[in-house]
Structure 1
Amino acid sequence: MKFNSKHFFLPRSTKNGLRSLSLVLLFALWLPFYASAQHKPDLKALEQYIENARQEWEIPGMAVAIVKNDTVIFAKGFGVTDILKKNPVNENTLFAIASNSKAFTSASLAILVDEKKITWDDKVTKHLPYFKLQDECATKEMTIRDLLSHKSGLKTFSGDLLWFGSNISREEIVKRARFIKPSYGFRTKYGYQNIMFIAAGEVIPAVSGKTWDEFVKERFLQPLGMNRTNTSILAQATDKNVAQPHVRWNGKMQPVPYLNYDNSGSAAAINSSVNDMTRWIRLHLNKGTLEGKKYFGEDVHRDMWTPQTLNPMSKGAEKLWPSKHFQAYGLGWDLFDYHGRKVVNHSGGLEGMISQVVMVPEEKLGFVVLTNTDNSLPYALMYEITDRFLGEDGRDWSKVLLEFKKAGQKRDAEAKEKLEKERPKNAKPAHKLKEYAGTYRSELYGDVVVKAEGKKLTFQMVPSPLYKGELNIWEKDEFVLSWSHPTFLPGGRVTFVADDKGNIVEMKMDVPNPDFDFTELELKKVN
């Protein structure tokens, strides 16, 4: 017989009993989630965990702050600002937040969307007529949304030597993007792009008449009370409470000077403290409004937190974090799911500075981690702190990632040792050293000057005054590159290329590292 709901009935007492039973079952099912959401971790234990992890990772100094239910429940510094001066880090110590600057750029553009001065889908050339890429379609069709979501067709970090410690202006950086070779089709694949974010930042003065720095300061930093935050290291030159970057050089941790990253602007130039960053976190967890003041609307806030570009997870990541099912990029924010919650986050990294900002909107939870050397502890703490607030019995994420780091260091050391054993004995160059000397020019980057000095070559990357060093013979036309100063960059190789007449015509640089691609410089000898 076909079921007919009209003929289905129960006595009132049975209905009431089932209703009561349903409520009991619903409450029983809901209770674990409620208990998880209301879980209160032991903050003293967390503080000790962070300090122990800091020491294990050999991080000179760091700071952490946590927001829960619109209240700052934890803000503390650990270690020192400088291993030589040994001033303690506190919640007001300034650190470079690097790529966590990107969210300030997308939020600034969100204000302009709210004010109907732009739309996310405006063509970039409407506001920056000089914007041009090698891919004509990308040049013509690139939108502000595309700039903010890493789908330009350029590979991750491509072109970043343009701004790294260089004296090239923001506008000129954007103009030189036409020399970067695309690696993918436009809008076909995720490629993390700082150059495109610098372009996005240049839209702001084109539309508002204010520089990116002025706009961020006037529309966010001042009204939010982020009084210690700045957009240039020049603003903190006399500040005594600033974390110094540190790098490991010849096996020893050393403080290094700040590089001036002002030209990276909208991609990476902000310096802040964890105390100030709690204001930024609270603003986003409250969807653009804080303490009665509206900064941007809920619609554009939703746009920033909506996946725009998929970022596929590796098999290793799926195995390590089985409760994660997707990764994507919004507008200035990384997005993924974790234990059934949406996680909004972003990392930041410059020489000797690593940061992480994390928000779990459903839990009204947000936190920030700032550190002053190259390390993965902020990323580990993203999972560790989230697990503790969700009541999840997770792994010790600091130890897990530290083991990965140590294993990688061991592999690198073994490979370096093997390579050194293979180094030719009594090698001699194929040409006289003075024949290698000269100026080598890259359309993308500019000049690298090579000089013959005694039995060695020296080089100077002209747009980046700090980046210079020595070239010592490996064999024939191949030389070993070493830097003249402590840096997080490893050594590398330089190969000179001769034409069919035996004249040196090109210089190829290779410095293997995950951040800057020296091979794309294409340096041709000009004298």
Structure 2
Amino acid sequence: MEVYMLFRFRVVSYLVLSVLCIAGSAYGQAELFKGLNDYILKSMRDWETPGLALAVVRNDSVIFARGYGVRKKGETAPVTAKTIFAIASTTKAMTAACLGMLVDEGKLKWDDPVTKYLPWFQLSDPYVTRELTVRDLLCHRSGLSRGDNLWYLSSYTREEVLRRVRFLKPAWSFRSRYGYQNIMFLAAGEMIPSVTSKSWDDFIADRLFKPLGMTKTSTSVKSLSGLDDVATPHDRIDTVMQPVRWPNFDNVGSAGAVNSCVEDMAQWIRMNLGGGMYRGKKILSADVVKEIQTPQTIIRLDSLDQVLRPSNHFAAYGFGWTLRDYLGRKLIQHDGALDGMRARVVLIPEEKFGFVILMNSSNTNLHASIAYRIIDHYLGGPVRDWSSELLKIAKEQEAKNRAEEKKQIDERARETKPSLPLESYTGKYEHEMYGEANVQLEGGQLTLRYFPLYVGPMTHWHYDTFQVVWDDRTFGKDLISFTLGADGKVIEMRWQGFTEFKKVK
């Protein structure tokens, strides 16, 4: 546990801005941040998170920007306010803002059909293809399930991801309910070239990052090569938090590809709290900001929401933002999660108050714990140890997962054998949307290969089911079952928890 000794004896943090006292505020800064540092450090130890950065904005000023812990477990380089993290799905609100600029310029309307800008774009239902609008893309009401394995660590380009989404079947009726959908946000960003002749990457850099002075912010992991102050992602592997590869999700683009630091993100928050204005310059019109922050799709509160946040009466999705009430205020926020990274951006417009949390570990609710600690303190809510409450829930879920895994092991029919010789399971398998997977016999053992990173040996589990343990341990392990046809030959491979692939060769 060397990193926690490091936290205890050598917690290195970087304070960017001096203490400001805001006249007329409910709290001075000293009161606002009283006990926060100790709370963050203890919570980081409890959640086993190596590094975290936080920036806070109030009344159009960045009043706090600081790093905690280290960029990489086992090393001493500190997280600073300039340390770069993946901001993941908090990218979505930036994409909505870019489209809002085109709305301001009269080049696009929220209720224009998507096919006006992407005439080749097609979904499985011709009616939805025809009726789908820009608004639908931005508020998660397409009716589609997620289909994230289409882009997640795949070798498909953005255009190919969008071409293949025509094979994704609807999970519920069009516009009938909220259903989170990354690929629709990718489509939203890919409309920009048809209007501006600029890629989404160039447009967001020129029209958003540059005017806001977000000099360390980019849209590709390739831009991080050679940079020093970059956080390393961490994930829990075999119960131990470990450094993992930096995820390359450039192909999901406008849905989650931005990398940034809290110092830059604070400028993005200032613009949003300022109604589209930044340092006296209009980035977005007030009308566009209002529309982006207006409820578009209802999100039903689950029972856990109601227990944890009894003052929360409703939730909805705007354009790239989740909206809810909390302690009598409108809360605008969004989370981001990619392999080994978590993010949360929060706005409380009535208070001219907002903040961003970036961290280098996943499978954690530390970001939510710190966020509600700050919000409660600022709004005068009851004192709660959010970290302990959410950690208890997380540990209970982990115990359930272990019980399910044990049950699966106990139910394994160990004395069975495969129906066929191993070479009979080899070959090429295809799915119309997800593409090609290959099973090969290597050194007397089956190996599954799917895209560059999904590679692993397969060992017999029972009957015609095999367990694959992925070489990249962040993927864990999966069960793969084979189906035989009437002629006794393999016709299908079923990847538990994912999909079915038909054998073609």
- TM-score normalized with structure 1 length: 0.89
1:128 maps to 2:128 = no
1:88 maps to 2:78 = yes
1:59 maps to 2:59 = no
In structure 1, the residue matched to 2:142 is: 152
Tell me the CA shift for residue 83 of structure 1.
Answer: 1.1
Q: Which residues of 2 match residues 333-372 of structure 1 at below 5 A?
A: 333-372=321-360
Q: Which residues of 2 match residues 317-328 of structure 1 at below 5 A?
A: 317-328=305-316
Task: Count how many residue pairs are aligned between Structure 1 and Structure 2.
Answer: 481
Separation (CA, whole Å) in 2 of partners of 1:144 and 1:381: 34
Separation (CA, whole Å) in 1 of partners of 2:176 and 2:457: 41
In structure 1, the residue matched to 2:20 is: none
Separation (CA, whole Å) in 2 of partners of 1:73 and 1:103: 23
Contact 2:247 2:338 in 1 (8 A): no
Separation (CA, whole Å) in 2 of partners of 1:260 and 1:416: 30
Separation (CA, whole Å) in 2 of partners of 1:279 and 1:196: 27
Secondary structure (helix, strand or coil) at the match of 2:80 reads coil
Stretches of 4+ aligned residues off by more than 3 angstroms: 34-42
In structure 1, the residue matched to 2:248 is: 260
Q: Which residues of 2 match residues 227-238 of structure 1 at below 5 A?
A: 227-238=215-226
2:128 corresponds, among 138, 145, 166, to: 138
Secondary structure (helix, strand or coil) at the match of 1:265 reads helix
In structure 2, the residue matched to 1:378 is: 367
Q: Which residues of 2 match residues 420-459 of structure 1 at below 5 A?
A: 420-459=409-448
Tell me the CA shift for residue 425 of structure 1.
Answer: 2.5
Change (3 A) 1:286 1:440: same
Separation (CA, whole Å) in 1 of partners of 2:157 and 2:232: 25
Q: Which 10-residue stretch deviates more, 225-234 or 44-53? A: 44-53
Tell me the CA shift for residue 336 of structure 1.
Answer: 0.2
Q: Which residues of 2 match residues 185-204 of structure 1 at below 5 A?
A: 185-204=173-192
Separation (CA, whole Å) in 1 of partners of 2:348 and 2:477: 40
Separation (CA, whole Å) in 2 of partners of 1:480 and 1:166: 21
Tell me the CA shift for residue 315 of structure 1.
Answer: 2.1
Separation (CA, whole Å) in 2 of partners of 1:308 and 1:219: 25
Letter of the 2:469 counterpart: S
- In structure 2, runs of 5+ residues without a counterpart are 1-22
Separation (CA, whole Å) in 1 of partners of 2:394 and 2:228: 33
Percent identity, aligned pairs only, is: 46
Q: Which 10-residue stretch deviates more, 274-283 or 255-264? A: 255-264
Separation (CA, whole Å) in 1 of partners of 2:226 and 2:454: 25
Tell me the CA shift for residue 190 of structure 1.
Answer: 0.6
1:211 maps to 2:199 = yes
1:508 maps to 2:494 = yes
Tell me the CA shift for residue 166 of structure 1.
Answer: 1.6
Q: Deviations over 1:88-110 (max 9, x none)?
A: 10110000000011111000000
Letter of the 1:256 counterpart: V
1:405 corresponds, among 369, 394, 400, to: 394
Secondary structure (helix, strand or coil) at the match of 1:284 reads helix
Contact 1:506 1:525 in 2 (8 A): yes
Letter of the 1:235 counterpart: S
Separation (CA, whole Å) in 2 of partners of 1:323 and 1:142: 35
Q: Deviations over 1:17-58 (max 9, x none)?
A: xxxxxxxxxxxxxxxxx9995475342411111111111100
Q: Which residues of 2 match residues 93-108 of structure 1 at below 5 A?
A: 93-108=83-98
Q: Deviations over 1:442-501 (max 9, x none)?
A: 110111010122443111113xx01111221111111112111221x3322111111111
Q: Which 10-residue stretch deviates more, 70-79 or 88-97? A: 70-79
Tell me the CA shift for residue 417 of structure 1.
Answer: 2.1
Tell me the CA shift for residue 222 of structure 1.
Answer: 1.2
Contact 2:32 2:378 in 1 (8 A): no
In structure 2, the residue matched to 1:524 is: 502
Over aligned residue pairs, what C-alpha RMSD do you find?
1.5
Letter of the 1:523 counterpart: F
Separation (CA, whole Å) in 1 of partners of 2:74 and 2:128: 49
1:249 maps to 2:227 = no
Structure showing greater radius of gyration is 1
Separation (CA, whole Å) in 1 of partners of 2:173 and 2:239: 42
Separation (CA, whole Å) in 2 of partners of 1:262 and 1:415: 34
Contact 2:448 2:468 in 1 (8 A): no
2:383 corresponds, among 376, 383, 394, to: 394
Tell me the CA shift for residue 130 of structure 1.
Answer: 1.2
Contact 1:39 1:389 in 2 (8 A): no
Q: Which residues of 2 match residues 283-294 of structure 1 at below 5 A?
A: 283-294=271-282
Tell me the CA shift for residue 70 of structure 1.
Answer: 1.3
- In structure 1, runs of 5+ residues without a counterpart are 1-33, 512-517
Contact 2:233 2:341 in 1 (8 A): yes
Change (3 A) 1:339 1:145: same
1:315 maps to 2:293 = no
Secondary structure (helix, strand or coil) at the match of 1:223 reads coil
Q: Deviations over 1:302-333 (max 9, x none)?
A: 00000000010012211221100001000010
2:58 corresponds, among 68, 72, 90, to: 68
Separation (CA, whole Å) in 2 of partners of 1:306 and 1:53: 33
1:476 maps to 2:463 = yes
Contact 1:39 1:390 in 2 (8 A): no
